[in-house]
Structure 1
Amino acid sequence: MSARATYEVLSHTERLRNKVFAIFTDDVVMPGGDTAKRDYMVHVGAVGVVAVDDDGRVALVRQYRPAVRQVLWELPAGLVDVEGEPLVDAAARELAEEVDLTAATWDLLTEVHPSPGCSNEKIRLFLARDIAPVPDGDRHARTHEEAEMELHWIDLDAAVGMALSGEITNAACLVGVLGAAHARDRGWKTLRPAASAT
């Protein structure tokens, strides 16, 4: 068995930076000694929420995404962009802001690198149960694309069918729906503590 290449980085150049991500170009030594340029995104990270109610339905939203110029089925989700905020608290904040829901029970469902060929983005997916509405006076005022988002309660098995048929293409949503169905079918015993997310 051969030793794994080290992929030494010879140079690291920032091309662009905004509040969500930065774009870099690295010169990287490849196996065999050649050098290649590799462009990629360094992302602040994200959380997503698979909220499942007492009737076995999952909370999904429809959101317009400019990069693909489509309205996609998605989970309530958002950026890890509040300094020092625990990841599960970020998930709870997004659930409240995007779909006016709270949850009494939180577990870590899984963690996903949705596009590691070009980004280091990591999405932590939490399972939220024991769902309740946010009181009317405490609801978040949504703007831009989020202003048009609507909450849809979809039977979890029907959502699995949507994922496998290609109706759901958002990676976090697809993984979250399939993961929640897997965990449910095992009595929720595969879940990890919410605080274990990194």
Structure 2
Amino acid sequence: MTFSTSDAEQFDRYVLRERNGDTVGVLAETDDGRIPLVEQYRIPTHRWTLEIPAGHAKDASERPLEVAVRKLREEAGFEAKEFTQFSRFINTPSFSTQHTALFHATGLTAVARDVIGPETPRSAVRLFTPDEAYRMVINGTIVDAKTIIALMRLRCGMEEER
């Protein structure tokens, strides 16, 4: 895209418009206080990551809460009694229109996981205490931004803003 500045100079900028809108991330907590993180291989960075379940809508009609419910089931193998959105942020404001909405899910019940796609056909779900997850953020094991934001918010206290 070409843009003009107030002094009439023009410049080009690539703007990424995410297919089917925003993404969603789910910070889920089991009844015993553990957090499911999905261990999966990420092709662009050539590394394994630990991430909260996340993704985008299948089509323009799927709402963020519906995406959160679906991704928690598909990627982590859980259903939740309660979902609360606690954050929404711009992923890369310098070149993308994409936002991520973060949900906190509680009252979990284990269910069969659905196939999550070709990128990581053998992903694993690992459960961590909040302290373990926080330490992995601090020591650089967890490098995914949405997961870091969600875990730091949990560390600061989810209940403070309700």
- Which TM-score applies when normalising by structure 2? 0.89
1:50 is aligned, of 22, 27, 33, to 27
1:176 is aligned, of 144, 150, 154, to 150
Q: Using the alignment, how far apart are the partners of 1:55 and 1:67 within structure 2?
A: 35
Match of residue 128 from structure 2: 154
Write out aligned runs for 1:140-151 (5 A): 140-151=114-125
Alignment partner of 1:94 is 2:68: no
Alignment partner of 1:30 is 2:5: yes
- 1:109/1:180 contact within 8 Å kept: no
In structure 1, the gaps of 5 or more residues are 1-25, 192-198
- 1:106/1:129 contact within 8 Å kept: yes
2:36 is aligned, of 59, 66, 70, to 59
Q: Using the alignment, how far apart are the partners of 2:156 and 2:26 within structure 1?
A: 16
Higher strand share: 1
How far the C-alpha of 1:65 sits from its partner, in A, is 1.2
The one of the two structures with greater contact order (alpha-carbon pairs below 8 A, sep at least 6) is: 2
Pick the structure with greater CA Rg. Answer: 1
Write out aligned runs for 1:56-135 (5 A): 56-134=33-111
Instruction: Work out the number of aligned pairs and report it.
Output: 160
Q: Using the alignment, how far apart are the partners of 2:122 and 2:75 within structure 1?
A: 10
Q: Per-residue displacement from partner, 1:9-33 (whole Å, max 9, x unpaired)? A: xxxxxxxxxxxxxxxxx21122433
**Cα distance change of structure 1 residues 31 and 125 upon mapping to structure 2, 3 Å threshold:** same
- 1:58/1:156 contact within 8 Å kept: yes
Q: Using the alignment, how far apart are the partners of 1:189 and 1:100 within structure 2?
A: 28
Match of residue 190 from structure 1: 161
2:140 is aligned, of 160, 166, 183, to 166
- 2:43/2:119 contact within 8 Å kept: no
Q: Using the alignment, how far apart are the partners of 1:65 and 1:146 within structure 2?
A: 8
Percent of matched pairs sharing the same residue: 24
Amino acid at match of 1:157: D
RMSD, matched Cα = 1.7
Q: Per-residue displacement from partner, 1:97-153 (whole Å, max 9, x unpaired)? A: 11210000110021121222221111111000011111x5xx423442342111111
- Which TM-score applies when normalising by structure 1? 0.74
In structure 2, the gaps of 5 or more residues are none
Q: Per-residue displacement from partner, 1:54-89 (whole Å, max 9, x unpaired)? A: 222211111111111111111111112233222111
- 2:42/2:120 contact within 8 Å kept: no
Runs of 4+ deviating beyond 3 Å = none
Amino acid at match of 2:79: T
Q: Using the alignment, how far apart are the partners of 2:126 and 2:141 within structure 1?
A: 14
SS of the residue corresponding to residue 131 of structure 2 reads helix
